[in-house]
Chains A and B, each alone.
Chain A
Amino acid sequence: MKRTLVNVVALGLALAARLGVAQDAAPPQQHPVGIEKAMPSGVVSGGWGYVYAAYAVALGGLVLYAVSLWTRRPSAQPPQGDLP
C-alpha cells in the first residue's frame, strides 16, 4: 500500500515537471509583458442596462410613431369648411 502511494506521488511529480518544462518551452507571446493587466479579457460582461435601453428605444419608437399617426389620421368625412 505504502509502495503504491509512493509510486502515485512520484508519477504526479514527474507529470508536473513535464508540464513545467512544456510551459517553459512555449513560444514567447507577441504582446509586451504585463499587457494582460491593462487589457480586458476580451468578452464584455454584464451590460444588461444597455440591452434594456436599446429594446426600450425599439418599442418606444414603434409606440410613439403609432400614436403620432393616430393623432394625424384624416377624418372620414372632410369638413365642408376645409374645401371650397
Chain B
Amino acid sequence: MPYWSPLALLALVLGVVITHLAVPSTRGWMWMVAGGLGMLALVALIYLGLVWAPPEAFMSDVGRILYVHVPYIWMCMLAFTINVGCAIAYLMKKSWRTDALAEASAEVGVLFGAGGVLMGSIWARPTWGVWWDWDPRLIATTVMLLSYVGYLAFRSFTEDPERRATWSAAVSILGYVSLPIVWFSVRWWNSLHQVQSTTQTLDSAMRIVMWWGTVTMLFFLFVFIVKRYEIARSRQSSALELPPEAARQEVAA
C-alpha cells in the first residue's frame, strides 16, 4: 500500500463525519445512503473475496481472510486516531461535541479491533498451527485494545460529566501511544506476523479486493460513529440535566 494511504483514509472518514455533524441538512439522509452503499458493497465483497480473488501463493484459499481482517484492523486504527484527535481537541477547548465523538469513535474502534483480532486468530490456526501466540504484534494489539476497553470502562464508571471528559481525554492520549507500536511492531521485532503488504508484494486482483473491503468498512465506520455519537449526545443531555427543549437541541446539534 502507498505510504500515504492511511492518511488519505483518515482524511476521508474525518471529512465525511465532520460534514455529517456540522451540516444539519445532511444528517437525515447521509448515514442512510452510506449504510445502503455499505450493505451493497458488503455483498460484493463476499463475492469478490470468496470467489473472484485468486488464492494466495502460500496460504491458498485461507489467504482470503485478508480481505476482512485487514480492513477491520484499519478501521480500528482510524477510529482510535479520531478518538485521540477529539481528546486533544477537548483538552484545548472544552466541547461536549468532541467529547461525544471521542466516546463514539472509541467504542466503534474497540468493535473493529476485537473483530480483527478474532479473525486473525482464526487465520493463525491453519497458517501458524496455533490459535494464539505471544508475538510482538499480537501483544501490542492486545495492549491497545485493553487500554481502550479501560477507557470505555472509565467513562461508564465516572458520573461527573466534566471529570469524565477531562480524565478520559488523558487516558485516550496515553492509550494512543500503543497504536504506532502496533503498526511498527512487525518491523521493529522478529514477529510471526507478516509485515505490511505493499503494491509490490500484493497481486493486482488481491489489491482491488482489499481496497474494496476497506471502502466497504469505511461506510460502516462512518454510520456506526455518527449513530453512536447521537447516543452519546443524548446521554450527555440527560447527565447535564438540560431542560427538554435544550436537550432536543443538544442531541440534534
Contacts and interface: CB of A to CB of B under 8 A. Distances in A.
A83 B238 contact: yes
A45 B125 CA distance: 13
A50 B230 contact: no
A42 interface: yes
A53 to B, nearest CB: 5
A69 B125 contact: no
Is chain A's binding surface mostly helix, strand, loop or mixed? helix
Contact of B50 (A51, A65, A66, A78): A51
Nearest to A80: B244
A5 interface: no
A12 to B, nearest CB: 36
A77 interface: yes
Interface in B22-80: 42, 46, 49-50, 57-62, 64-65, 68-69, 72
Interface in B147-206: none
A59 interface: yes
A20 interface: no
A55 B118 CA distance: 11
Contacts, number: 98
Is chain B's binding surface mostly helix, strand, loop or mixed? helix
A58 B241 contact: no
B56 to A, nearest CB: 8
A54 B238 contact: no
A74 interface: yes
A44 B58 contact: yes
Given A48-B61, A61-B111, A74-B231, A83 B247 contact: yes
Given A47-B62, A51-B62, A83-B242, A58 B119 contact: yes
Interface of B: 42, 46, 49-50, 57-62, 64-65, 68-69, 72, 108, 111-112, 114-115, 118-119, 122-123, 125-127, 220, 224, 227-228, 230-231, 233-234, 237-238, 241-244, 247-248, 251
15 contacts: A42-B58, A47-B60, A50-B62, A51-B61, A53-B122, A54-B69, A57-B115, A58-B115, A59-B42, A61-B114, A62-B42, A73-B230, A74-B233, A77-B248, A80-B244
